[in-house]
Structure 1
């Protein structure tokens, strides 16, 4: 355990989050996402896990240490429901709440068509699979910057 660090953030996840740079993507995936095969194609090349937790709990833990990229419109994204791209299921509403809380303001996610999401995931730095069993619990977060301390 580390003081001030969410205990869901295991050593492998923390190492990946720390290694990522500005503009790198991470994917939060539900249990139905082809996480292992997609993760093998990412920069990290292996699957990371935050088991036994929801997508929203994992997102809140990650966003407690991970800045979103304020220079782009697509820093937070969700996988669209096939055939119903404008529908927002509860799992996605919960992650939206975690994003807004972490950022201290409304930060709407963009939606990405399912196969386009897979392609973005393959280009990501890493995939983190959660224990989320609800459908469409898949998200992409682009890393931002942390400004220097004021002098």
Structure 2
């Protein structure tokens, strides 16, 4: 498989026609992740209420693979329980870094990124949105523990 084979028509369509959610004015948490390998950057904003992601915004500067991941996430994340998102992130890591199956259900368009498995240098940019959201969720979890201790 050649590198150019990664950029299927479906990946280019998902990346090129994605709705770009605006940054949030008052997020519960924000996180930024950068791929040192390719320079892709994503900054995400989240609002989480009662274990559910209720608002999402991002700013993305990434290759088509990172844009595709971010596009699918932006389309599906609002209304997703935090635990479900954590499972999707774990599934993506397993799909790319091992022999795991792609996500299913509303996340199934992520299956088009499965060929990235064979290109470890592209894993980071493909997973950037998942890792940024995980970092934002960790901030929220940490803040809630501090509040609970007060």
Is the structural similarity TM-score above 0.5? no
So what's the TM-score if we normalise by structure 2?
0.26
Structure with the bigger RCO (C-alpha within 8 Å, sep 6+) is: 1
So what's the TM-score if we normalise by structure 1?
0.26
Please tell me whether Structure 1 or Structure 2 has the larger radius of gyration of its CA atoms.
2
